Chains A and B, each alone.
Chain A
Amino acid sequence: MDEAALRATLAHKQAGAYASFEGWIRNHNEGRSVLGLRYEAHTVLAQAEGERVLNEAMAKFDVIQARCVHRVGELAIGELAVWVGVCAAHRSAAFPACRFIIDEIKARLPIWKHERYAAGDAHWLHHPAD
């Protein structure tokens, strides 16, 4: 993922504000030491639902453009998992739109995390609500 290139696609002259979120792979979860993880997705549905989330953000907030990228496959500690970028005339729209997008992506998109622990076990995260 090239964050600089993604940011460049949002560099509109009418935009006075740019807000971005990056989700990174951390080395712990629920008190346990994490070695690494992989993400799996129902790709067709995730793409379509991701587009719906971005369109909702565009309708709900006064933003110029929004983009989101989520990686799948095996990822190491410290790597980038998900990127969100929003540009708007003003920060009063950019900040909440960025928050809305990542919150909806996490709640709705058919993407699952399989975590591997230092203890040697591994499992899918399937909590009913995060």
Chain B
Amino acid sequence: MTREKTKLTLLYFAALRDASGTASEVVETDARSLRELYQQAQARYQLPFSTQQLRVAVDAGFAEWDDAPLADSEVAFIPPVSGG
């Protein structure tokens, strides 16, 4: 039995972009939650933050880690911010 795959774009910023080596990547994922989606990326790149330390955003709004990944969306992992 195989899990259905969802195609979407991951966005990396600041220290996450430094760690992954890329600003964005298109993935086909079987992750059932945004948390699982991050954990897959974290394993791939040894990313330095846990989901406790990050927020997650889908397109133009913040989302919840338990949300299901949406096809053709842009998912951004948001490290602690330092604007202003």
Interface residues of A (CB under 8 A from B): 23, 39-42, 44-49, 70, 81-82, 102, 105-114, 124-130
In the complex, which residue of chain A has the Cβ closest to the Cβ of B15?
A124
| Chain B 38-62 interface 0/1 with A at a Cβ cutoff of 8 Å (1 = within) | 0000000000010001000101111
- Give how many A-B residue pairs fall within 8 Å (CB-CB): 79
Chain A neighbourhood of B79, CB < 8 A: 112, 124, 126
Q: For residue A65, give the distance in angstroms from its CB to the closest CB of chain B.
A: 20
Q: For residue A71, give the distance in angstroms from its CB to the closest CB of chain B.
A: 10
- Contact check, A82 vs B60: say whether CB atoms are below 8 A apart: no
Chain A neighbourhood of B84, CB < 8 A: 23, 70, 81-82, 102, 105-106, 109, 111
Q: Roughly how many angstroms separate A107 CA and B13 CA in the complex, as a whole number?
A: 17
Asked if B8 CB lies within 8 Å of chain A CBs, one says no
Chain A neighbourhood of B62, CB < 8 A: 45, 49
- Contact check, A45 vs B82: say whether CB atoms are below 8 A apart: no
Q: Assuming the A-B contacts A42-B57, A48-B61, A128-B53, are A110 and B80 also in contact, with contact meaning beta carbons closer than 8 angstroms in the complex? A: no
Chain A neighbourhood of B68, CB < 8 A: none
